[in-house]
Amino acid sequence: MESRLGRLAIETLFPRFCVSCKREGSLLCEVCEQEWTPVSALASCAFCGELGSDRTCTSCCEDVYLDGLTAFAPYGNTVVRELLGHWKYHGDRSVERILEGCLKKASLRLSPPVLPFYATSVPLHEKRRRERGFDQADLVAQWAGELFGIPHETFVRRVRSTNPQARTSHELRRVGEMDDAFKMMDGIQIPDHLLLCDDVFTSGTTMDAAARVLKEAGAKTVWGFVIAKG
Ligand SMILES: [Zn+2]
Ligand SMILES: [Zn+2]
């Protein structure tokens, strides 16, 4: 635990500013946190954008494994995008309390359509997790577990580290680069229904590669859950 003095020193050296109103103090000031409710992402197929339902549409279903996706906010929301940036790229863990609180407030509309689930995550590679000091997807899965009253468990591990900046999702899909990125954990019994969590969903290539491994291991439903959908 940071000491009060240590925290004061850090806050003096690196002051935080509210990502919404720019006031100095915290990444989302009390006033903005009270008032702020992001407009939810439109219900649509996560892969082709067809409007109407969060369920993967029938034509995409032929090519992908994920059954649908629930998102807290669209990635276009600047508050969400900045909070995620401070969290992942600047390692500011004060974001966690803010995001967890936001999810709690929105829990009713975020409730996934099929229960019971186990919450699980699209894990970071062990090497990346060590560099960052935490796995943001695993934390989202913990919060989802608490939010929906379901257990949280790890079922897959990432066996290959990919550099996300180096390639576009289109290239990844084309060369099938994510195909062997995940493996099932050894000796684990797979439940029927899973809520697969991550922080961000953009093209869906990574999440779908994890969903594929889970389905091939026997899962019947793999529903996605993310903070932001691109
Ligand atoms: Zn503010
Ligand atoms: Zn579709």
Q: What is the pLDDT of residues 63-78, one digit of tens each?
A: 999 999 999 999 989 9
Ligand 2 centroid from CA 203, angstroms: 12
Instruction: Tell me which of 200 and 12 has the higher pLDDT.
Output: 200
Q: What is the mean pLDDT of the chain?
A: 88
Ligand 1 centroid from CA 7, angstroms: 20
Radius of gyration of the chain (CA): 18
163 has pLDDT over 70 = no
Ligand 1 centroid from CA 212, angstroms: 41
Residue 11 pLDDT: 61
Ligand 1 centroid from CA 36, angstroms: 9
Sheet of 221-229: strands edge to edge?
68-74, 221-229, 193-201, 118-121
Q: What is the pLDDT of residues 90-135, one digit of tens each?
A: 999 999 999 999 999 998 888 888 777 899 999 999 999 999 899 9
> What would the mean pLDDT of 185-212 be, rounded to a whole number?
94
For residue 50, give the ligand nearest its CA.
2
d(CA 45, CA 150): 25
CA 139, 61, 70, 19 torsion-angle sign: positive
Q: What is the pLDDT of residues 31-45, one digit of tens each?
A: 888 887 777 778 999
For residue 49, give the ligand nearest its CA.
2
Ligand 2 centroid from CA 31, angstroms: 39
Q: What is the pTM of this model?
A: 0.88
Q: What is the pLDDT of residues 70-99, one digit of tens each?
A: 999 999 899 999 999 999 999 999 999 999
Kindly give, in sequence order, each residue whose CB lies less than 8 Å from that of residue 197, ignoring residues fewer than 6 positions away. Answer: 119, 120, 121, 122, 137, 140, 141, 144, 224, 225, 226
pLDDT tier at 174 (50, 70, 90 boundaries)? very low
Are the C-beta atoms of residues 82 and 200 closer than 8 Å to each other? no
> What would the mean pLDDT of 162-177 be, rounded to a whole number?
54
Domains along the sequence of the chain with CATH = 1-36 (no CATH), 40-229 (3.40.50)
For residue 56, give the ligand nearest its CA.
2
Are the C-beta atoms of residues 222 and 65 closer than 8 Å to each other? yes
136 has pLDDT over 70 = yes
12 has pLDDT over 90 = no
For residue 53, give the ligand nearest its CA.
2
**Which amino acid makes up residue 187?**
G
Ligand 2 centroid from CA 73, angstroms: 19
